[in-house]
């Protein structure tokens, strides 16, 4: 009986190891204040248990980031680039990192990018680079001459394009996620015609994002599996009296893959139900499942 029990434990351990080496789940989520929505993030981690969680708009100084809570849930590897009250990006992982990095765009230290390389413990995902971006929202007026926030957004996208050309991030296995604050395609918004003059779906933004994605060779994960004309939304405005009834959403949150990972993508799940949780973010988590 003892030998049988040991064999069973060994088989379970082997099964877990196989899972580690075969499947990778990665989630991106703009939480709109990590401390305000700590309970929601912990609930999601307990329910979904992604291997990697990438957060944007943490709005938290680095010395106030809730490390204890993440580690109690099994996310020992954490990197956070934050500041008080604004922006902020973080990556939480079940696997250690072999390297971390972060870039500044538009000559601003405004906590909008962080990247990690997964270590050997990630099995088949060892060496994968994960980039987490928070692109500026751009304000309300889609004119760079009248709106400095929109000018900043366009400059940020231009520098992302230059980075893609210079660094060639898709030459090796890589994943780019984040709140990119652009709904690039016609069916990424509730009304293409009515939103053409609305920031996040103007032609200058959508063309900029699609150009930098295509030139760098990134594969749009959601549209790779769920092509148009299917509607996909990841954001619903707080301004809606009944967001579910009106369903006026936009796809602002993205998961992109290097071409060598496209064939491994099995699902891209949008956790729409979290928009209905108490005190929700206006964005919902998006999770990619890769079989490696």
Q: Element (H or E) spanning 18, and its range?
A: helix 2-22
Indicate the domain borders of the chain: 24-291
Kindly give the confidence (pLDDT) of every residue in the chain, 292 residues in length, as a single tens digit, with 9 standing for 90 and above: 333 344 344 344 434 444 445 899 999 999 999 999 999 999 999 999 999 999 999 999 999 999 999 999 999 999 999 999 999 999 999 999 999 999 999 999 999 999 999 999 999 999 999 999 999 999 999 999 999 999 999 999 999 999 999 999 999 999 999 999 999 999 999 999 999 999 999 999 999 999 999 999 999 999 999 999 999 999 999 999 999 999 999 999 999 999 999 999 999 999 999 999 999 999 999 999 999 9
List alpha helices for 142-241, DSSP H: 148-167, 203-216, 221-225
Q: How many residues does the chain have?
A: 292
**Residue 227 burial (C-beta neighbours within 10 Å; 0-12, 13-18, 19+):** exposed
CA 210, 273, 40, 138 torsion: positive or negative? positive
Say how far apart CA 255 and CA 245 lie, in whole Å. 27
Superfamily of domain 24-291: Endonuclease/exonuclease/phosphatase (3.60.10.10)
């Amino acid at each position: 009986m003892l030998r049988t029990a040991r064999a069973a434990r060994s088989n379970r351990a082997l099964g877990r190891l196989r899972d580690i080496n075969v499947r990778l789940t990665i989630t991106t989520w703009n939480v709109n204040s990590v401390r305000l929505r700590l309970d929601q993030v912990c609930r999601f981690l307990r329910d979904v248990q992604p291997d990697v969680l990438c957060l944007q708009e943490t709005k938290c100084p680095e010395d106030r980031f809730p490390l204890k809570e993440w580690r109690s849930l099994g996310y020992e590897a954490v990197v956070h680039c934050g500041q008080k009250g604004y922006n902020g990006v973080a990556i939480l992982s079940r696997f250690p990192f072999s390297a971390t990095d972060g870039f500044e765009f538009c000559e601003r230290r405004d906590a909008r990018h962080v990247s990690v390389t997964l270590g050997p413990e990630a099995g088949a995902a060892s060496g994968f680079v994960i980039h987490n971006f928070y692109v500026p929202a751009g304000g309300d007026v889609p004119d760079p001459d009248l709106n400095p926030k929109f000018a900043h957004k366009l400059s940020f996208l231009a520098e992302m394009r230059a980075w893609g050309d210079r660094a060639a991030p898709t030459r090796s296995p890589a994943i780019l996620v984040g709140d990119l604050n652009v709904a690039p395609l016609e069916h990424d918004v509730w009304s293409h015609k009515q939103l053409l003059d609305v920031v996040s779906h103007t032609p200058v933004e959508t063309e900029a994002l699609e150009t930098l994605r295509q030139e760098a060779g990134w594969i749009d994960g959601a549209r790779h599996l769920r092509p148009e004309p299917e509607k996909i939304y990841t954001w619903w405005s707080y301004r809606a009296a009944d967001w579910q009834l009106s369903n006026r959403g936009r796809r602002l949150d993205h998961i992109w893959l290097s071409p060598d990972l496209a064939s491994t993508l099995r699902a891209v799940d949008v956790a729409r139900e979290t928009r209905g949780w108490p005190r929700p973010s206006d964005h919902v988590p998006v999770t990619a499942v890769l079989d490696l």
